[in-house]
C-alpha cells in the first residue's frame, strides 16, 4: 500500500510540471515576467507548507500517520481543482495556497516508512521508495505532456483526481504504522512553531552538519524544478509535451539508479559515498544548464544537463534522508520528518523567488551558476559532517 501511495503522490505532483508556465502566461500581460510569476506561485505554496509542516509532523506522532495522509490528500485535491478552474492569476494563487496548507502527506509517508524499517535498512528503503518516486516521476510528466496536447488544463484536473484517489485508498486500505505505545502523549507548542523546530534541530550536533547540507542541496534543486520549464521554453523553444517527456526520462533514470545501482553501491561506498557522488553529478548538471542559458542553447546539452542533475539528486537525497532518520529515536521519526519538510518548504519559499528574479533580472543562466556554487558547498558540508554509514558497516560484518 505504501508503494501505491508513494507512486500516486509523485505522479500527482509531477503531472502539472510541464504545463505550469503555459497556464500562468494566460493571465499575465508581459512574458518577461513569466519566470517571476511562476516563482511567486510556487513560493506562496511553499510558504503555506512551511507554516504547517511541523504541525502535520507533530500530529502524525500524536495521532498516527494515516489520518494525516488522508486529510492532506483531500486538501490537495481541492487545491488542484481550483488551479484548474483558473480564470485569473488570483484564482491560481488561491489554489496553490489551499494545496500548500494541506501539504502534509510526504512527511507522514516518510515517517511511515521509518516506522516499518529497521534503522540500518532505512537508506536502502528510502532508496527503493526513491525508485518508486522515479516511476511516478516518469509517468507523471509524460502523462502531463501528453494530456496537454489535448488541453492545457487537463493535467491539473487529472492531478486533482489522483489526490482524491490517494485519499480514498488511504481511508480504506492503509493500516496505521505507529503503535499507540510509540505515540507522543501530547503536542507541545514549541515543537509546532515553524522556526522553533529549526533551533531545536540545529542545536543537536548529530543533525547540524546534515541540515546545513540539506539547505545547500534544496535551494539549487528548487530553483531548477521551478525554472526548468521556462528555460526550455525560452532557450530551445520546447513545447509542454517535450518538457514532459524529458522530465519523464529523469524518472526512468531514477528507477535504475535508486532501484538497482544504489542498492549495490550502499554496501560498498556507504551513505557518505553515495551522497557525495550524487552531489558531484548535480554540480556537473548545473554547469551544463548554465551553459544552456548563455553560450550553448542547444537541446542536447539541455537534455544531458537535466539527466545528470536529476540522476544525482535522487540517490543523494535518499541516502541523506536515511542518515537523518538514524540520528533520532523511534518516537521522533515524525518530528524529524516534519523538520526536514519544514526546512525544505521554507527554503522553497525563497528559492523560486530567487531563481525567478535572477532569471528575469540578471540572466537566464544565473540561477544555475548559483546552484553550481551551492552544490560545491554541500560537498564540503557532507565531507566534514560526522555520521556513520550503517549500510557499509552491516555489509562488512555480514549482518
The tens digit of pLDDT for each residue in 298-344 reads 999 999 999 999 888 888 888 888 788 777 776 677 677 767 877 87
**Which of 28-37, 258-267, 351-360 is the most confident on average?**
351-360
Class of residue 182 by CB neighbours under 10 A (exposed 0-12, middle 13-18, buried 19+): middle
Residue 110 or residue 234, greater confidence:
234
Does residue 337 contact residue 114 with C-beta atoms inside 8 Å? yes
Distance CA 175, CA 210 (A): 32
Name the packing angle between helices 205-236 and 366-384 (round to 10°).
160
Residue 177 falls in which region: left (phi positive, over 0), alpha (psi -120 to 50) or beta: alpha
Does residue 142 contact residue 327 with C-beta atoms inside 8 Å? no
Residues in contact with 361: Cβ distance below 8 Å, sequence separation at least 6, in sequence order: none
The residue-averaged pLDDT of 342-347 equals: 77
**Which of 82-96, 187-201, 258-272, 287-301 is the most confident on average?**
287-301
Q: In this predicted structure, what is the pLDDT of residue 174?
A: 80
* Angle of CA points 96, 99, 101, to nearest 5°: 105
CATH superfamily of 2-173+191-397: MFS general substrate transporter like domains (1.20.1250.20)
Does residue 385 contact residue 285 with C-beta atoms inside 8 Å? no
C-alpha cell read off for 15: 503531472
Name the packing angle between helices 262-292 and 122-150 (round to 10°).
40
Distance CA 93, CA 364 (A): 25
Distance CA 55, CA 50 (A): 10
Question: What single-letter DSSP state applies at residue 119?
Answer: G
Residues in contact with 131: Cβ distance below 8 Å, sequence separation at least 6, in sequence order: 254, 255, 257, 258, 259, 260, 262
State if pTM tops 0.75.
no
Q: In this predicted structure, what is the pLDDT of residue 271?
A: 83
Residue 216, pLDDT > 90, answer yes
Residues in the chain: 399
Tens digit of each residue's pLDDT (9 = 90 or more) over 151-200:
888 888 888 888 888 888 888 888 887 777 777 777 666 555 666 777 77
Residues in contact with 225: Cβ distance below 8 Å, sequence separation at least 6, in sequence order: 17
What are the helix (H) ranges across 257-330? 262-292, 299-325
Tens digit of each residue's pLDDT (9 = 90 or more) over 17-44:
778 888 888 888 887 788 888 878 877 8
Break the chain down into helix, strand, coil percent, rounded to 5.
85, 0, 15
Amino acid at each position: 500500500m505504501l508503494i501505491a501511495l508513494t507512486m500516486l503522490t509523485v505522479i500527482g505532483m509531477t503531472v502539472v510540471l510541464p504545463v505550469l508556465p503555459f497556464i500562468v502566461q494566460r493571465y499575465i500581460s508581459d512574458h518577461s515576467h513569466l519566470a517571476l510569476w511562476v516563482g511567486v506561485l510556487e513560493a506562496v505554496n511553499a510558504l503555506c507548507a512551511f507554516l504547517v509542516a511541523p504541525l502535520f509532523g507533530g500530529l502524525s506522532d500524536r495521532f498516527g500517520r494515516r489520518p494525516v495522509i488522508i486529510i492532506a490528500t483531500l486538501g490537495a485535491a481541492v487545491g488542484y481543482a481550483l488551479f484548474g478552474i483558473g480564470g485569473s492569476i488570483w484564482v491560481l494563487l488561491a489554489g496553490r495556497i489551499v494545496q500548500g496548507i494541506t501539504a502534509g502527506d510526504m512527511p507522514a509517508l516518510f515517517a511511515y516508512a521509518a516506522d516499518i524499517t529497521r534503522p540500518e535498512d532505512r537508506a536502502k528503503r528510502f532508496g527503493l521508495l526513491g525508485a518508486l518516486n522515479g516511476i511516478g516521476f516518469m509517468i507523471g510528466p509524460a502523462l502531463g505532456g501528453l494530456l496537454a496536447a489535448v488541453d492545457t488544463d487537463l493535467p491539473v484536473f487529472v492531478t486533482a483526481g489522483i489526490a482524491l484517489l490517494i485519499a480514498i485508498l488511504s481511508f480504506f486500505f492503509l493500516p496505521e504504522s505507529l503503535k499507540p505505545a510509540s505515540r507522543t502523549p501530547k503536542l507541545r507548542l514549541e515543537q509546532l512553531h515553524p522556526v522553533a523546530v529549526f533551533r531545536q534541530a540545529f542545536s543537536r550536533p548529530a543533525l547540524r552538519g546534515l541540515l546545513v547540507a540539506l539547505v545547500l542541496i534544496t535551494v539549487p534543486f528548487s530553483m531548477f524544478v521551478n525554472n526548468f520549464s521556462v528555460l526550455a521554453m525560452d532557450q530551445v523553444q520546447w513545447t509542454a509535451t517535450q518538457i514532459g517527456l524529458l522530465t519523464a526520462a529523469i524518472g526512468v533514470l531514477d528507477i535504475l539508479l535508486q532501484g538497482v545501482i544504489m542498492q549495490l553501491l550502499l554496501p560498498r561506498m556507504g551513505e557518505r559515498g553515495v551522497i557525495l557522488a550524487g552531489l558531484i553529478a548535480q554540480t556537473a548538471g548545473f554547469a551544463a544548464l548554465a551553459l544552456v542559458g548563455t553560450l550553448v542553447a542547444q537541446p542536447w546539452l539541455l537534455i544531458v544537463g537535466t539527466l545528470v542533475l536529476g540522476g544525482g539528486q535522487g540517490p543523494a537525497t535518499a541516502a541523506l534522508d536515511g542518515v537523518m532518520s538514524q540520528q533520532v529515536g523511534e518516537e521522533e521519526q515524525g518530528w524529524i520528518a516534519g523538520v526536514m519538510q519544514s526546512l525544505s518548504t521554507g527554503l522553497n519559499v525563497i528559492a523560486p523567488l530567487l531563481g525567478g528574479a535572477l532569471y528575469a533580472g540578471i540572466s537566464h543562466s544565473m540561477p544555475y551558476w548559483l546552484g553550481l556554487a551551492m552544490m560545491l558547498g554541500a560537498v564540503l558540508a557532507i565531507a566534514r559532517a560526522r555520521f556513520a554509514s550503517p549500510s557499509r558497516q552491516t555489509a562488512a560484518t555480514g549482518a
